Amino acid sequence: MTTSSVDRNEPVSDQPQPEPGRWPGLGTAPHSPFRARVAEALFRRAVRPLDVRVTLPDGRTLGAGGKDAPEMRLRRPAAFFHRLGVDAKIGFGEAYMVGDWTTDALAEVLTPFAERMATLIPPVLQVFRRFVDRRQPSAERNSVEGAAKNIHRHYDLSNDLFATFLDSSMTYSSAIFGPEDDLAAGQRRKIDSVLDYAGVRSGSEVLEIGTGWGELSIVAAKRGARVTSLTLSEEQRALANRRIADAGVADRVDVQLRDYRDSTGEYDAVVSVEMIEAVGADYWPTYFGTIGRRLRPGGKLGLQAITMSHQRMQASAGSYTWVHKYIFPGGLIPSVEAVERGMLENTTMKLQAMREFGQDYARTLRQWRDRFTRRWGEVSALGFDEVFRRMWEFYLAYSEAGFRSGYLKVHQFGFAKPS
């Protein structure tokens, strides 16, 4: 298939048409014929061994998958390859958002790509990545001011939006499933595990870095602890306070709109669940050092973090991706080595326990996406459009594929400060 032949494909009219003011630049694919040709050649090479079927408008297929393999349908190949050519790390997701390609099995299509993520670009071309990779904008660095803006862009979208797909505990991190657990029970199991790692019990004074919507604070307070919880999201703080009051523990939980760097005091325990990913590598020493200073001698940390291999973390550090542009600006997923080294170099704390449960995260994400899809009518009524729907579906499925493939993992860590 030549570039000239794909250019003759007619536009597909039944796909989202992004509003220029709402999604600037998204409606029209960038134009770069040379890069599009290179992108097409690399894409063909990448999918050749994958267990998928990439179906072209004329019925021809790419990939190693048979008739039962998940199908990726290229509806506007010319636009798709132009987007990939200009910026593959962003263009692939944007092409799904606007319907250049589609599928009925999104996570299943994305999983083979995630499994081969490290080898999709030929080794001979890896050396050129630093010349073509976009770098994260300096405005999205997680300084005190920048972190507040980055958090606002995701977590202040709408509490009602998150309520459509989270369980009743409003917990936005991986569950740990027991044999008979539904999502809510799995989330409670996860929270209990983090609190156990941190040694939280009656009389404990606890610092939580990253409030979410308050469920961990509620459970800790019901154990008899007193909790100071920090968040940068005004929307989350407002709902967390209502939920804490409804649970009858408002006298034992203080939710503060405060950056972790501005925290004060000493505590018996620190807990932080999937917040480190938003810190940024430049600020990890500050984050770890702050935790060390906030803990009393003998105190404990319960930390939950999404992780990736150290090599992949180093390769992706600083890169600007679709996830940064549309979901989590300024973020970086750490490796286990980065966490352990950061604690060693910036605190006196020692690792006491660790567990990994990445497949539980894949299951969690699948349930979130199923709920989001089923309740799309409610999300739409909140003012979110079809492009947002496809963006959110891609985000949840892309994340699920990462965990299903093992490219991403999630760990809980228990650290203790010497007495």
pLDDT band at 142 (very low <50, low <70, confident <90, very high): confident
Q: How does pLDDT run across 217-265, given as a tens digit for each residue?
A: 999 999 999 999 999 999 999 999 999 999 999 999 999 999 999 999 9
* Dist CA 360 CA 367 (whole Å): 11
- Looking at the structure, do residues 113 and 146 belong to the same domain, yes or no? no
Domain boundary among the residues 132, 148, 180 is at 132
Are 268 and 387 members of one domain?
yes
Does residue 305 share a domain with residue 193? yes
Please indicate, yes or no, whether residues 344 and 197 belong to a single structural domain of this protein: yes
Name the phi and psi angles at 413, rounded to 5: -120, 140
Range 95-118 average pLDDT:
92
What would the mean pLDDT of 158-177 be, rounded to a whole number?
A: 97
Please state whether 230 falls in left (phi above 0), alpha (psi between -120 and 50) or beta.
beta
What percent of the chain has pLDDT above 90?
80
Both 121 and 171 in one domain: the answer is no
118 and 152 housed in the same domain: no
Q: Which helix (H) or strand (E) holds 283?
A: none
The pLDDT score that the predictor gives to residue 121 is: 54
Residues 303 and 236 placed together within one structural domain of the fold: yes
Last residue of a domain, one of 132, 163, 184: 132
The domain that contains 199 carries what CATH number?
A: 3.40.50.150
Same structural domain, 120 and 155: no
Same domain, 307 and 237: yes
- Give me 122's structure tokens: 């030929």
Q: Which of 111, 132, 153 is the C-terminal boundary of a domain?
A: 132
Same domain, 293 and 325: yes
pLDDT of residue 122: 52
> Looking at the structure, do residues 78 and 201 belong to the same domain, yes or no?
no
Helix (H, G, I), strand (E, B) or coil at 408: coil
Q: How many domains does the chain have?
A: 2
- Between CA 404 and CA 369 the distance in angstroms is 15
| Angle subtended by helix axes 386-405 and 88-97, to nearest 10 | 130
Judge if 24 and 46 occupy the same domain.
yes
Taking residues 37-53, report their average pLDDT: 94
Note the pTM of the prediction, 2 decimals. Answer: 0.92
Average pLDDT for 172-199: 98
The answer to whether 372 touches 388, Cβ cutoff 8 Å, is no
Predicted pLDDT at 140: 72
Range of the domain at 18: 3-132
Residue 2 predicted with pLDDT over 70: no
Which token pair is 149? Answer: 């803006």
Q: What ranges in 51-134 are assigned the alpha helix state H?
A: 77-86, 88-97, 106-115, 123-126, 129-132
Task: Please tell me the distance from the alpha carbon of residue 306 to that of residue 399, in angstroms, as a whole number.
Answer: 11
